[in-house]
Amino acid sequence: MKSLSVEIDNLYYSTIEQQICSFFDMGETNTNMKKTECAEDCYGRCTIHGSKKMGKFSIHIIKLKNGKYRLVANCCDLYCVC
């Protein structure tokens, strides 16, 4: 399966969720965690529910020298929401 690797400006969960949903064509999300931030230089797993698909992802966030962050997301499972 494809992997996402993208530069992001902030660590808000909503930013991370939107990047993953867009890349994996999961549709829209309705997150209520817009101001919740993930830790920098972290590795973890998350489950995201989109309007078209639901998925489980391993994510890795790396702080870059330019002050931005590199988000790497690998899909573990992806299901259609029917």
The domain spans of the chain are: 3-80
Find the mean pLDDT for residues 6-20.
93
State the pLDDT confidence band at 43, using cuts at 50, 70 and 90: confident
* Rounded Cα distance, 5 and 26, in Å: 17
Q: Give how far Cα 54 sits from Cα of 5, 13, 18, Å.
A: 19, 16, 13
Tell me what pLDDT residue 37 has.
Answer: 74
| Res. 41: pLDDT tops 90 | no
State the pLDDT confidence band at 32, using cuts at 50, 70 and 90: low
State the pLDDT confidence band at 24, using cuts at 50, 70 and 90: very high
Find the mean pLDDT for residues 23-40.
78
